[in-house]
């Protein structure tokens, strides 16, 4: 869960930075930011499934 929180903090920073650069008229960083955000979301999803599997295993 701590890992997901860390990833989420990075993603919040990424979103605010890309929004800031977009509003400032710099659009070069928007595509890489979206790609990295997608990767971080994939990581969160993978961790979520991992936690779910561990939780279910421990109940058996």
Partner 1 sequence: MRLFHSPSKEPLWKDEFSVFTSDERYVTRRQFTKFLTLASLGMFVGNLWILAKVRFTKTPAFPTVEVADISEIPVRGVKLFTYPTAQDHCIMIRTSEEEYVGYSQKCTHLSCAVYYSAKNDCLECPCHQGFFSVKDGSVLQGPPPRPLPQITLERHGAKLLAVGVKGSSTARWHLSSCCSSSRSGC
Which positions lie near partner 1, rule CB under 8 A?
A: 1, 4-5, 7-8, 11-12, 14-15, 18-20, 22-27, 30-31, 33-34, 37-38, 40-41, 44-45, 47-48, 51-52, 55-56, 58-59
Measured between alpha carbons, how far apart are the two ends of the chain, in Å? Answer: 21
Q: How far is the CB of 49 from partner 1 (least distance, A)?
A: 9
Q: How far is the CB of 18 from partner 1 (least distance, A)?
A: 6
The token pair that represents 21 in the structure block: 């650069």
């Amino acid at each position: 869960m701590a890992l997901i929180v860390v990833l989420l903090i990075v993603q919040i920073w990424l979103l605010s930075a890309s929004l800031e650069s977009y509003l400032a008229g710099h659009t070069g960083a928007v595509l890489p930011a979206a790609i990295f955000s997608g990767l971080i979301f994939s990581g969160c999803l993978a961790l979520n499934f991992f936690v779910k599997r561990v939780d279910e295993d421990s109940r058996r």
